[in-house]
Amino acid sequence: MNATMKLCTKMVAVAWLGSHAAAFACTPDLAGAKAAAKTIESKSYALAFRTQPEKITIGQHFVVELAVCAKAGAAAPGNVRVDAHMPEHRHGMNYKTTISGVGAGKYRAEGLMFHMPGRWEYIFEVRAGGEGDAGAVERMTTSVVLQ
């Protein structure tokens, strides 16, 4: 496929998504966790996550379980990154997280720790895999206040 054709395909995909995105949003499946999971969206992806334990304790490691799905016409997620920071304090966490795929669009991130009270913002980055927009990164954020 030459560059011009590629560009055309992309423009068609974007136009189509623009008019149908809301009706065709996917539902990320975190089995058995619907009630506790929080769902956020970007242009191409929907992501649901929950923490383990559900209530985060300051200074205690916790796990984030998440599920990602591509909306209609979007490239499948290639890989996912999870990070968190305190926007008002301009610092991140003191530990690096590790994330592993656990099958069917599900991931498990370990080693997160919020070491002080205040507003923490999760940053989820989904990198497109496969064809089409492969390599494009979309970022989703949501925050939680710890007391």
**What are the φ and ψ backbone dihedral angles of 37, each rounded to 5 degrees?**
-80, 150
**Distance between CA 132 and CA 85 in Å, rounded?**
31
Q: Does 58 bind Cu ion (CB under 5 A)?
A: no
DSSP track, 70-81: EPTTSPPEEEEE
Q: Segment contacting Cu ion (CB under 5 A): 9-17, 45-53, 57-65, 87-95?
A: 87-95
Binding mask 100-139 for Cu ion (x = CB under 5 A): ----------------x-----------------------
Could you say whether residue 86 binds Cu ion (CB under 5 A)? yes
Is 84 one of the binding residues for Cu ion (CB under 5 A)? Answer: no
- Tokens, residue 22: 């809301």
Residue 89 in contact with Cu ion, rule: CB under 5 A: yes
H runs (alpha helix) in 21-94: none
Residues in contact with Cu ion by the rule CB under 5 A? 86, 89, 116
